[in-house]
Amino acid sequence: MADKSDRFEALEQQLEMFIENTRQLGIIVSDFQPQGQSVLNQKLQTMVHGLQEIDKLKSQMADIQVPLEVFDYIDQGKNPSLYTKDCLEKALAKNENVKGKIDNFKKFKAALLVELSKVFPTEINNYRAMRGDDQPT
């Protein structure tokens, strides 16, 4: 488990450095002066090196699968952690829905057996005996 967190930590550090270098590059470019060409070139080299380091870490993440919906959350400016919360809430809602349906089917079965036992008492008693359900519902 420590290996997995180490992988993520290394990638996170590389991404943070890349983001910071990108921010610095943006500052240099927005206020570019011809005498700053060497600084710009150096920062571009740092960016290329950072991308190479991130590319090296890519193979360590091959077993990680991210649902595409997470990227939709990111594109919408939402925290990706909300995806898990929303999935759990949807699963709970679906679970409640299914539980309600099961309860309704149980009530329907009981009511149907009561009504059928009025019309077909012998057949319903045979049915209950076969099912091992000796008590009338």
Contact (Cβ atoms closer than 8 angstroms) between residue 113 and residue 124: yes
Residues 6+ apart with CB under 8 A from 18: 47, 50, 51, 54
What is the structure's pLDDT at 134? Answer: 58
The reported pLDDT for the residue numbered 60 is 86
**Same-domain status, 53 and 78:** no
Whether residues 21 and 59 fall in one domain = yes
Q: From 124, 123, 120, select the one nearest 135 (Cα to Cα).
A: 124
Q: What is the pLDDT of residue 28?
A: 87
Last residue of a domain, one of 12, 40, 64: 64
Counted domains in the chain: 2
Question: Do 77 and 49 lie in a common domain?
Answer: no
Q: Verify that 14 and 58 share a domain, yes or no.
A: yes
Q: Which domain holds residue 80?
A: 66-137
Sign of CA dihedral 27, 30, 35, 37: positive
Q: Cα separation of 96 and 105, whole Å? A: 14
Whether 76 and 134 map to the same domain: the answer is yes
Residue 97, number of CB atoms within 10 A of its CB: 10
The segments of the chain whose pLDDT lies below 70 read 1-4, 134-137
